[in-house]
Each structure stands twice: as structure tokens, then as C-alpha cells.
Amino acid sequence: MSRTSLVLGGLVALALAAGAAPAATAAPADDPGALIVGGHEATEQYDWMASLQRQGQHSCGASLIDAEWALTAAHCVQDVAPADLGLRIGSPDHTSGGEEAGVAEIVVHPDYATKSPNGDIALLKLDHAVSKEPVQLADASGEVGTESRIIGWGVTCPVRGCGEPPVRLQELDTRVVDDAQCSLSAIDGPTEICTGSQQVLLSNACFGDSGGPQLEGGPGNWRLTGVTSRLGSLVPVCGTAPSIYTDATAYRDWISQVAGV
């Protein structure tokens, strides 16, 4: 794989839990997913947060943006049939609660086929409408220094295969940082966000958060700006550098065309 494709999501959590050692050059669909390192259990209810699951096991994060549509990362749904996927929406526990829905259709942004890892965004059409309140897209992703938050499920240690993911949703306060801090991963400034932790060391997204949201605003007024994509450096240890998020606001027109949002 190219040096820029150390993505944070994937679909082999079961193999990792069984002790399988993934190759360093695994393709995006073979990576275990990103997890929040250095965060803590969610302090509030996120009704639109979804666990994207494959065969009943948490695989990636996703965000409900309409009663029938969810947003995630393209690499989370590569080489997967809709029938293999499901969503648990609005529960801080990815094993129970909330609303469940199947996936009727996967729509990957066309740029991902030619610009991977850029264009790392996908829409999932649910097999039925749900009642949970969707999250709204922000108008823009914000300037350098803009405070944000990331949420997701996964192990809280910083290297691949280092432990079991937590059942409870995790959160971490972050901020938009200069693109130069993600330059080793060939960040595309107009369509991606370089996202840094507000803590000093080993705090950021990691292997299991992929597809989950970056948020701006505050309780009762969160707006989605980004979708967890990949590590922002060549070092496969989470939290040693900022992470890269697909800028969902840059794809607003595409999202509207596909989902009518």
C-alpha cells in the first residue's frame, strides 16, 4: 500500500481479538479501525452516533445525517456488500440499545477510486427510516485553532492489536491544527482536516474510530465537520501526531445530491 493509506478503520476486529498479527502492509479493508486514545467515556448522549457493524461486530463509526442516511468513511465499506452491514444508532453501548437498521445501499464518493486515501467518504442508505435525531452538517470546518470533539469505540491503547475495545462510547476534545502537521500523510487541504489533541501525548483517534465524526459546537448544538480517515504521520502509533479527517463540509453538494440532506 502507499505510505498515505494507513487508515483507521477496517473489518478484521475478530481476527485481531483472536491474536492474529496483521501485516504492516495490510490493505485498508484489512485494518482494524481507529480508536480514541487518551479520551474518556462519553459525557452526554449522541443520538445520531452509530456503530457500523459487520456480521454483528463493531467495525467503524458512522453518523446519522437523515432518517434514512448515515455518513462514514469510504475505506470502511470497501469490498463489503450492503447485506453484510448493520447499524446500531443512538446507544453509547455498541452491543445493545439504540435503534438497529440494515444497509440497503452503499454510495462511495467517486474520488476515492482514483485519489485514495483522499475522497475517503461514503453514504449508507438505511433499509428503513429511524426515529433518532440526525446530526447537522456544519457550514465549514473552521480555522486553525477551532475547538472540536471526536467520539468513537475502540481500544484505548495506541498500537494495533494492543487490547480489546471498550463497549462504551469514548470522547476526546480536539482542535483543528495546521495542515503542515499532517504533511507526511499527504493531506489534501481543501478536502481534509488535520486534527490534533488538546492533550500533550498519546491522545487522538486510532485503530477503530474510522468513519466516526469530528464535531464542532457544544452540547445540544453539535455540528459535524469531519469523518475519521487515517493517521497523520508515518508512525503507526496513535497519538504521536494529529489525525486526518475527511472534511465533510467540502462534500456538502455531493451529500445533498445523493441523500437530499
DSSP conformation letters of 170-204? EEEEEEE--GGGGGGGT--TTTEEEEEESSSSS-B
Which one-letter DSSP state was computed for residue 4? T
Out of 58, 75, 94, 109, pick the active-site residue: 75
128 among known catalytic residues:
no
Please say whether the beta carbons of 60 and 28 come within 8 A: no
- Rounded to an integer, what distance in angstroms lies between the CA atom of residue 26 and that of residue 206? 16
State how far the Cα of 10 lies from the Cα of 182, in Å rounded to an integer: 21
Which residue from 35, 75, 82 is spatially nearest to 54, judged by alpha carbons? 82
- Among the listed residues 87, 70, 75, 63, the one whose alpha carbon sits nearest the alpha carbon of residue 27: 75
Handedness of CA 234, 239, 241, 247 (dihedral sign): positive
Given 59, 63, 66, 120, which residue is catalytic?
120
d(CA 222, CA 211): 17
Residue 75 annotated to the active site: yes
- DSSP sequence for 73-102: -GGGGTT--GGGEEEEES-SBTTSSSEEEE
| Options 59, 141, 148, 210, the catalytic residue | 210
The pairing of strands 136-137 and 223-231 is: parallel
Torsions phi, psi for 205 (to 5 deg): -70, 155
Distance CA 22, CA 25 (A): 8
* Residues involved in catalysis: 75, 120, 210
